[in-house]
Every structure is written in C-alpha cells, then in structure tokens.
Structure 1
C-alpha cells in the first residue's frame, strides 16, 4: 500500500486507490508466480538486492531509453487505435564497476508479444523468474541482465513461459527507434497542449534574471496544471487549453526562461548525474562540471568549423551510469577526481552501446583529446552521419590511430580587450544571470554588435 501514498512533514498528502484489475492479478497464483496469503505475494521473503526498472512506451519513441531498462512494454494497437497488447523487451542495465570486467553495461533483448489481457501475468512471470533464479549471493551479479546474459534469451524465455503457462507470441514488427525530448509546444491529441521545458542538469532554481522556480510556481498556482518529469531531467506542463498558451508563454519570458530555439543543441541533448556533493558514490564531479565541459567543446567545435553540428553528451561521476553515458555518442565516466573514462560510438537515438576509447582523461586535457576526433569526423564523415555513428563505423582502433598520428594546427591567437571597471561588473552580473561564462557572454555581445554594424553598412 505504501506505493499509493505520499507523505510530507508527517501528513499523508496524496493517496490513490489500487486498480481492481491490478489487485486481482497480484493475488492470482499462476504456476507458482506468487506466495499466497503473504504480505508480499510476489516477492515473499525473497530479498531483491538490486533495482528492477520498468518502462512503457509506444512504437518509435525512445524518450525512455528503453534499452537500459530491466523490462520494457511497447504498446501495440490496431489500425483503429485500440489496444492489442505489448511487445516485451528485457535485460537492459548500465551499472558497472571499474576494473571488474564481470560487470558491464547491456542492452535489453526482444522477448516476445503478449495480448493486453495477459500483460499482468506475463510481467509476473518475468519477475518470478528473476526472483527464483537471479543471483542472490553476489550483489554485483544480481540484476536481470546478468541472468539473461548467462542463460541466453531462449532459455530465459522458456522459463518465463513455464510461469506464464503458455508460449509468448512472436515479437511484432516495429519502426526505427528515435529519441524525442518533446521540448516546446505540442498538441496532446485531445484539443489541449503540453509544453516541454528544458531543465539544465535537472535543477529548478532562481538565479539573477533567470527565475525558473518562480515561473513554475506562478504557472501552477494560476492554472493548476499537472507536471510530468521526463527521463532526461526535463519538465512537461500538461493539460494546457488553447486560451492559456499565450499567458504561459508570457510568464516564462518575463522570468527569463529561454525558449527551446535559444538552446545550444549540445546543452539540449546533454545530461549529467548529480554526483558531488549529493551522491555518496560519486568519485568526481558531473552535474557541476558539465556546463563548463559543454562550453569548451562548443568553442573547440566552432574553431574547427563544426558550428552547425551537435551530438549527445552524457557525464557521470562514477561507473554506475545514472545519466546513461554508455548509450551516448560521447560519454564521460568518472574514474578518479577530475579524470574520466571516455566512451564513444553510441547512437543519437540511444539504441547502441558506446565503447571505451580512453581509460583516463584529465579534464584539463579535454581539448587535446577531442580535437583529433572532431577533425577526423569533420573530414571523413558521410553526408548526414552523426558523430556517434561515425565513431561506430570507423571503429575505436582507427580513432586511436588517427589521434596518435594527428598533428594539431597552431592554436589561434588570443587577444586582450580592455573594458572599464563598471562595464566589467555589469558584464559579470549579466553573465551570472544568464548562466554563461564571462568570456562566452562577451563573445556573444561583440558578435551581435558586429552583425548589427554590418547590417547598417549594407543598408
């Protein structure tokens, strides 16, 4: 029952009733899937020492990083949109430990299709299989992914079907998976809209002229809208009627909240775990480090003529992979303070595992390490080929060989520009309000001035 209650300051603030179908399915004993008359009818007294992650999505929508989940249900409907059943994936998981090769990231496998009426029994059968045959002695080997890896999909599927009581149906064909972040305005399909709001590193705060927390509070108080948290640390404002859109947009703008079109794609598609000082498992920085990392990578890309390119970058402060770096095109995984493993070759839609490119990269050497890779990509990639797809196609050995033989071009000259003390303080305050570095803000201001001057001269 605790799953249906939320308590705050000693008071129950939200309580939900369990759906009768769910309760009936949990209490139904199919081929030994439950322990009757037990407070925990499915787990019983079995200790489950690791998480068991589940998600539900629709064909083509990989906004949930489905290949990283223990169990995924893909909704299958008929041509009229009526629910037929679910495709099942199982065995994904990204947690690993440095220098322990028996731990590894793994993608989920296709298991089969189940009719909608049988979905509870199928899920119970999968959980019961993990409960009864998953490793209970070695906590590092306890996840479902290791059971499927050790057994193979066919043996796992056969055991699930024993609990299920009948064969699973063949996996239904699906379109290619695509990552979607749903930022900006979108129709819900019922005449209303939702608005996807980018939350940098998952932090909702007020800072200078950027007052995201105040904007959200005003919107919720004024319009009583439900909020949804996405798997990529963003927010969706839901149930927006057409006559509310303009007012909500105005509130966001007056609080300095940038529209999605103003985001650098490197920032839009990046993600970092909290790491230090919040997480006790963190080895090094992540959430607090990634803004500077993204700025340095963008500056490097601009210098190399890659202004219009972007790719998925993810960073974690330890190898547990909470920001899912092993599915990114470029992943940074903390290994010692201020030093990261570098992973390359994931897909832009998170459908392929990356590979280790570099075991230890001190953050101070970021540009030195990435410049050869970006030059290689710039000069050799195929039309429309993403950075991750390019790295996967050419392979890690070729990337390392190119980097080993790469002779960097001479670094561009740096010029010093004087400003008055009062101007410097104004720039510094404005940079903090916008969440930019002083150098980035100054370059942006000068560029805008030059563009305006050129436009005036042309006129």
Structure 2
C-alpha cells in the first residue's frame, strides 16, 4: 500500500528556499495587482494575505477587469500590548496605505485591509520601524501569542506578559527571508544546507499553531479553543506555574464530518522557568506527528484526537527529558472584558473601551479613531488589545487621567460601554467583503442582529444579563463561535447555522440548534427562548447552562461526536 501523498503546500514550502519563493519578483511585476499562487501561500508566513473586494467582483468581471486585488496585513502584538507611539504610527499607516480603519482581531493583533501591491513592501517596512512586525502573524508557524491583557486583574500579570513575549520570540522563524524581502536586509548567499530552521525545519508546521496564556478566573483568551494554552496558577499572590492544555481548535468544514471543533485537554503542570521549553517541545511534537497529507486534518487538535491526550503527554515528556507535574486546581468564571474605569493597587488607571466588531474607524456620530489618536498623543501608559476585540487604555497615571477623561468625553467614548450586556459580549470575524472564505456576512451584520435581539431581551427583562454571542462568515471559526452561548456560522448569503449552549466561560462546546436558517428567522427563534430563560432559570444561571438544563439543546461531546450530533440534528430537521 503506497503512502499518502503530501498536501500541495508541503511542496511549496520545500521549494521556497525558506519562505523566499519568488516574492521579490512578484512584487516587482507591475502588470498585475496579484501574486502567483505559490507566493500567496508563502506571503502568509510574512504576515499578509492576498484578497479582493468581493463587493466589486461582478462589476469588474462585467467590464473585463482584473479583480480588485489588495492585501490584508496582520501586525503581530505578543500579549496585545502597544505603546502610544505604535498606536500613532498604526493610525498613520491606516490612512496612508490601508482603507482608513484599524481592525482589532480576536487574537490581540492589528489588521490593515485594502493595501495595494505597490504599497505592500513599504507598509511592512514602516511597521517594523515602529518596533512591531508581521513575521509569523500568519502561515504554518506559531502565530501571535495571547495573554490576559488586564494589568489590574492580577499582581502576576507582568510575569505572564513576559512569558507570552518570550514564547513569541523563541518560536519566531529563524529564516532571513523576511529581512531580505521587506527590510532590505543583506542577502546572504548560502547553500540550503547552511541555513537552518532549528525549531521548524525546512517544511515548518503542518498548519497554523495558536498559543494563549490565561490568568484565572478570567478566560478572556479562550484557552480551550487553542492549540496550546497555559493556565496561570497563583498561590498567595505568587505565580507558581502553569497548567498545560493541548488540542483546542474551532475550525470545521460544512459537510465534512472528519472536521470539527474541539476543546483542549489539560494534561499537566509546568513551572514558570519551564514554560518556553514546554511550548517549544509541544510545537516539535506537532511538527513531527501532525498530518501533512490533508490540510483539513492537519491542525494540532486532530493530532491530539488521533493519538489521545495521554500519548501526547508521554511524547511531550520524552521530548522534554522530564515530566510535567499533576494538574493544579483552577476556576474560570467568564471570558468577557471588564469595561469602564478601574484603578489598580499602584494608583494607575485603566479604561476599557468597547469596540464593536473590533473595527476602529470614524463615523459622523462617533469619531472613535480620531479620539484614540488624540489620546495616544498625550498618553503616558500603553494600549492593550483584548481577545474580545476591545481596547484598554492602560496604565494611565493619576496626573493624566483628567486629560484622558476629557478626550473620552469630547469624542463620545465615555459612554461606549453603556450598551446592552449582549452587545458587549459580541464578537464577529471580518467576513465579507474581503475574506475569500466567507460564505455570509458577519462583522457588517452582527450589529443589526444584536439590535433586534436587544428588543427581545428588553421585553424579557434581560438587558443586563451577559450572554456571549458570536458570528462568523464561515465554519473556520476565527471568532470562536462554537464555544459561545449563541453562535452563528455562515452557510451562504443571508443563511446561518445557529448554535446554542456554549459555556459562559468558554469551557463547553455549543450544539447545532437549527441548520441553514435565513437571517430573518433569527429573532423568531431566539425570542421565545429568552422568555423561557427569564421565567425558568435558576438563580445565577447562565444562558448557555439553561438551554442545556431545560433540554433546548443537549450537552455536546468533543471530537468526532460533535459532528455525529450535527448529523443527527440535521436528520431531525
């Protein structure tokens, strides 16, 4: 029996000369706004995706024009912390090269959209001049490392942030390709045997890899939805180590039962001194044992599912040369953000701003982007991106608070968080018009859905009850919909799968409640459930827990059982 053929991307990586490919030649080609197919795959490792404006496709096709190609750039921000200067420069680049907006992602990164090919190199070069970069923000490598962004929640936050930054630095690809292509670095003439990727090797990882660090009781980074996560264990206000969780992931494919969301398994405990080593060795296990034949089956969650968490732990211990300790007790209570003003024990102030859909822009009624730029000009602390697409104006000194407060009021941001609890707990991916994978709207449509549902919640007396709600334009799960209490996953124009019953703290998968519903059915389906929740819930019970206890949906299992449940539900409908 012959071995399975490797996926096409493995050949692209092998031939690329450590991610160089023909990117430089493609950038110089002025006859088209696009890049070659192979180089489009390699560009991801450098932090950029080729896209086109899908709103314009039909009109351009009618006029026999090339698609309106542009590029999305993702800026890597380990732990989500940026300086005021970096914010100012990010704002400038958004105006000068992008579409005039800044996207705050669900992985604590900045994104630009609408950058044309002729401006791509200059934009990436100027991003690096701000002491940020785009390398490894995409591609088959470790992506941006996330951690709890709230400095006031725990005395150990600085240690946790440093750990996230150390992991990010350690797992950054070693190839000089990025510096040569984008930063005019000296091209080193070497043979392929002389250049090395000590962690990744010549073909890097089978697919993308995601790492997070959480500080209980907040699970704001959704550790169960990521390939590798560390749960900070704090005893007597001291960080004693981290529980290690492996094998989480959200993506699936409609109609493919072999793909499914999966919750991570907590398998052991490591000390603070071991965290970078543990991160590296988990990546090596995935490098060596991940599926390189089927990219839909190549994420680390499938490696864990195929071999089992116990096998992963044993192999990890073997790679480490020592054993992880037993899992320590921990408890998560939520995965949302704490809005408004907070003062920490050092006398610094922090203001968490609600940013709907993570899109920082100016509108006539709400010039948020201008207001944040003005704050950055006088701010003496930093900015912190949250995993829920919101923004913390952090570490404001007592002497600067009044100035920041005045600017928040001037630009209408001092009431930004005075919204319904549902809206404050919402997340949407970008989807249309730029994402090539989107089947339906998400960022542009979820605010309308929330507005309709707010009326139903108001009628039920639930305006102040936090219910996590997320919408994605496809089942790849960038907005982590499969662990929200209400989740919408795009199936086609104006059509979604509706999921219910995820854990309020991100600790449980949701279940398919209705398949392929039209957008105009959403309010009618959820309104009666809100009424039941208001009348029948137990004291302190969350919406996701209620819909399971009341039998509206059954609790969902992990792994392949998830799609078994979906199939059974589809047959009923």
Q: TM-score, normalised by structure 2?
A: 0.63
The answer for the alignment partner of 1:450 in structure 2 is none
Range moving further from structure 2, 140-149 or 223-232: 223-232
Q: Give the drift of 1:21.
A: 8.3
1:210 to 366, 369, 381: 366
Alignment of 1:280-291 (within 5 A): 280-291=436-447
Q: Does 1:106 align with 2:262?
A: yes
Q: Does 1:145 align with 2:301?
A: yes
Q: Deviation per CA, 1:84-127: give whole Å up to 9, x if none.
A: 32211111100111111111111111010112222222222211
Q: Deviation per CA, 1:261-291: give whole Å up to 9, x if none.
A: 5212111111111111121110011111111
1:392 to 545, 548, 570: 548
Instruction: Report which structure shows greater RCO (CA 8 Å, sep ≥6).
Output: 2
Q: Partners of 1:26 and 1:94 in 2: how far apart?
A: 22
Q: Does 1:63 align with 2:220?
A: yes
Q: Deviation per CA, 1:108-156: give whole Å up to 9, x if none.
A: 1101011222222222221111111111101011111111111111111
The answer for the alignment partner of 1:14 in structure 2 is 130
Q: Give the drift of 1:188.
A: 4.0
Q: Does structure 2 conserve the Cα–Cα contact (< 8 Å) formed by 1:338 and 1:362?
A: yes
Q: Partners of 1:23 and 1:74 in 2: how far apart?
A: 17
Q: Deviation per CA, 1:372-426: give whole Å up to 9, x if none.
A: 3223323322222222111122234689xxxxxxxxxxxxxxxxxxxxxxxxxxx
Q: Does structure 2 conserve the Cα–Cα contact (< 8 Å) formed by 1:275 and 1:287?
A: yes
Q: Does structure 1 conserve the Cα–Cα contact (< 8 Å) formed by 2:199 and 2:284?
A: yes
Q: Partners of 1:4 and 1:197 in 2: how far apart?
A: 18
Q: Does structure 1 conserve the Cα–Cα contact (< 8 Å) formed by 2:453 and 2:527?
A: no
Q: Partners of 2:229 and 2:493 in 1: how far apart?
A: 35
The answer for the alignment partner of 2:205 in structure 1 is 48
Secondary structure, counterpart of 1:72 in structure 2: strand
Which runs of 5 or more structure 1 residues have no equivalent in the other structure? Answer: 28-35, 400-459
1:99 to 1:235, Cα distance in 2 relative to 1, 3 A: same
1:135 to 1:349, Cα distance in 2 relative to 1, 3 A: same
Q: Partners of 2:169 and 2:542 in 1: how far apart?
A: 48
The answer for the alignment partner of 1:354 in structure 2 is 510
Q: Partners of 1:104 and 1:26 in 2: how far apart?
A: 27
Once superposed, what is the RMSD of the aligned Cα atoms? 3.0
Q: Partners of 1:180 and 1:245 in 2: how far apart?
A: 24
Q: Partners of 2:353 and 2:266 in 1: how far apart?
A: 32
The answer for the alignment partner of 2:311 in structure 1 is 155
The answer for the alignment partner of 2:178 in structure 1 is none
Q: Does structure 2 conserve the Cα–Cα contact (< 8 Å) formed by 1:215 and 1:255?
A: yes
Q: Does structure 1 conserve the Cα–Cα contact (< 8 Å) formed by 2:547 and 2:553?
A: no
Alignment of 1:177-188 (within 5 A): 177-188=333-344
Q: Partners of 2:423 and 2:461 in 1: how far apart?
A: 19
1:252 to 1:68, Cα distance in 2 relative to 1, 3 A: same
Q: Give the drift of 1:307.
A: 4.4
The answer for the alignment partner of 1:39 in structure 2 is 196
Which runs of 5 or more structure 2 residues have no equivalent in the other structure? Answer: 1-44, 47-75, 79-85, 87-120, 134-161, 173-192, 556-573
Q: Does structure 1 conserve the Cα–Cα contact (< 8 Å) formed by 2:226 and 2:249?
A: yes
Q: Partners of 1:101 and 1:244 in 2: how far apart?
A: 55
1:60 to 1:291, Cα distance in 2 relative to 1, 3 A: same
Q: Partners of 2:205 and 2:515 in 1: how far apart?
A: 32
Q: Does 1:325 align with 2:481?
A: yes
1:376 to 1:261, Cα distance in 2 relative to 1, 3 A: same
